[in-house]
Amino acid sequence: MERVPLVSIIAPVYNVEAYLPKMIDSVLAQTFTDFELLLVDDGTPDNSGMICDEAAAKDGRIKAIHKKNGGSASARNVGMEQARGKYLFFVDSDDWIEPDMLKTMVDAAEKYQCMLVVTGFCMEYYEAGKFTSYDVDLEPAEYLTQSEFRANAYKYFNQSFWAFPWNKLYLTEHVKAHNIRWPEQYMQWNDFPFNMDYIRDVTNAVFVPGTMYHYFRSRPGAEGATVSEKAVLYSVRKEQFAYILRLYSYWNITDPKSIETIHSYYVSRLLQCIQESAAAPGTGNQEKKEQIREILNDEQTKTSLKLAKAEGMLMRFAILPMKWGSVSLSLFEGKVIGYVKNNMTNFFYRLRAKVVNKGTVRKELQKSGGVLAP
């Protein structure tokens, strides 16, 4: 009889030949060994597909799946269709995980028989020619009833714990029972709606501390988006927040702390949109102002600014130009933030870690063989 693994690890693969071997090695180094690794080659034009085949030939737990290019959401959906494990774990093919990650998460899932396990992570950046990293961790918590989970879900928005799939262990049965899929209409930013759909009917969840997942947030060659691309970012942020509002309406959660926190989350993302638009290269101030004006004049922006209760003096100060509806001041602030980000990278991420993600900045990372060293 064919072995059925406890965990199915799904990795979409596209143009990552410089990073893929490190991810595969980190999975094979796990102290928990009852898994299958599904490498889904999404029609990659580089040598990544060949690396998948070579890995599968060396280890029977690895399966290489080849498909036409359709984006990471499509690749993950194909992986889920072929997954056999009780649990699903997603990893990006340019990231890596520490040896005890799977064991830590599976132990928690089995101990509490829960539908969701969430843990911390390490954000790794390549910005302005420098590598920077910071940890985003959490306090241990067990929410063993649906009402308890829903009442506490707000705590994990501002620290981006709902923004990603790879710091979570999902129950395959729940995914299939509710026909949860990765939305393929988005080429990017499809993680958030998947998570919102998944937690909609979750009845219990466990949060375990530890920053064992290393997320390569930006890497060489991935810098310099335009204002038009930043406009897309704003529309995505707005649509993401609509997901949150629908979710909380479905949950019938109306307590002040939950409401002010989810609106604070949205306001902080709008501030990011303004900063990105203000700092976009190759465009004039007028185009940037038009984009910022659209953000500030939106009724949802105005509502969220009224309901949000920003944490910390710095964040309360940062959103004042938005509260005042000042396009010029918002543009100026966005340029200042962009300058700090590009020219004082470590300081920027230290501040961001503290204010936005409540994280801790690590020492500047070193390059090793074209990838970040662990």
- Out of 15-24, 161-170, 257-266, 362-371, pick the least confident: 362-371
Query: Confidence class of residue 244 from pLDDT cuts 50, 70 and 90?
Result: very high
- Reported residue count of the chain is 374
> Residue 341's pLDDT is what?
79
Q: Are 12 and 75 in contact (CB under 8 A)?
A: yes
> Could you tell me the pLDDT band of residue 338, with boundaries at 50, 70 and 90?
confident
Interatomic CA distance for residues 149 and 47, integer angstroms: 43
Residue-level pLDDT at 223: 38
* Nearest Cα residue to 31 out of 52, 11, 54, 7: 7
Lowest mean pLDDT among 184-188, 226-230, 312-316: 226-230
Judged against a pLDDT cut of 90, whether residue 323 lies above it is answered with yes
Pairing between β-strand 205-208 and β-strand 116-119 as defined by DSSP bridges: parallel
Q: pLDDT tens for residues 120-137? A: 999 887 766 667 788 889
Instruction: Give residue 3's pLDDT band: very low, low, confident or very high (50, 70, 90).
Output: confident
Q: What number is the average pLDDT over the span 96-105?
A: 98
- DSSP per residue over 187-224, as a string? SS--HHHHHHHHHTT---EEEE----EEEE-S-TT---
Which sign, positive or negative, has the C-alpha torsion 38, 369, 26, 182?
negative
Dist CA 88 CA 64 (whole Å): 17
Count the Cβ atoms, other than its own, within 10 Å of residue 305: 20
Q: Check residue 173 and give its pLDDT.
A: 97
* CA pair distance 208, 191, nearest whole angstrom: 20
Q: How many CB atoms lie within 10 A of CB 313?
A: 9
DSSP 316-333: HHHTHHHHHT-HHHHHHH
The confidence score (pLDDT) of residue 354 equals 63
Q: Above 80 in pLDDT, residue 365?
A: no
Q: What are phi and psi of 155, to 5 degrees?
A: -65, -20
Please give the average per-residue pLDDT across 113-120, as a whole number.
97
Residue with tokens 């990011």: 272
By mean pLDDT, which of 268-277, 341-350, 358-367 is the weakest?
358-367
Q: Which residues touch 215 (CB under 8 Å, ≥6 apart)?
A: 92, 95, 121, 122, 123, 124, 164, 166
What's the mean pLDDT when you consider all of the chain? 88
The rounded radius of gyration (Å) of the Cα atoms in the chain is: 21
Number of Cβ atoms within 10 Å of the Cβ of 7: 24
Distance CA 280, CA 276 (A): 6
- Calculate mean pLDDT across residues 233-254: 95
CA 366 to chain centre: 23
Tokens 């920027």 locate to 348
pLDDT of the residue at 374? 31
The model's pLDDT over 187-212, given as tens digits with 9 standing for 90+, comes to 567 899 999 999 999 999 999 999 99
Helix H or strand E segment including 111: helix 101-112
Tokens of 304: 């969220």
pLDDT band at 366, cuts 50/70/90? very low
- pLDDT for the residue numbered 344: 77
β-strand partners of 368: 371
- Taking CA atoms, 218 is separated from 129, 130, 221, 288, in Å, by 11, 11, 9, 23
pLDDT given for residue 1 in this prediction: 59
Q: Give the model's pLDDT for residue 283.
A: 79
Q: What domains are defined for the chain?
A: 7-221+367-372 (3.90.550.10), 227-343 (no CATH)
**DSSP per residue over 27-54, as a string?**
HHT-S---EEEEEEEES-SSTHHHHHHH
Q: How far is it, in rounded angstroms, from Cα 206 to Cα 213?
A: 17
The residue type found at 247 is L
pLDDT band at 289 (very low <50, low <70, confident <90, very high): very high
Tell me the C-alpha distance between 85 and 87, whole Å. 5
- Is the pLDDT at 220 greater than 70? The verdict is no
User: How confident is the model at residue 232, as a pLDDT?
Assistant: 76
| Per-residue pLDDT, 339 | 86
User: What would the pLDDT profile of 293-320 be if each residue is shown by its tens digit?
Assistant: 999 999 999 999 999 998 778 889 999 9
For the segment 112-116, the average pLDDT, to the nearest whole number, is 97
Q: What is the pLDDT of residue 187?
A: 54
Q: Token digits for 149?
A: 């989970």
Identify the pLDDT of residue 218.
61
Please report the pLDDT score of residue 225 as a whole number. 40
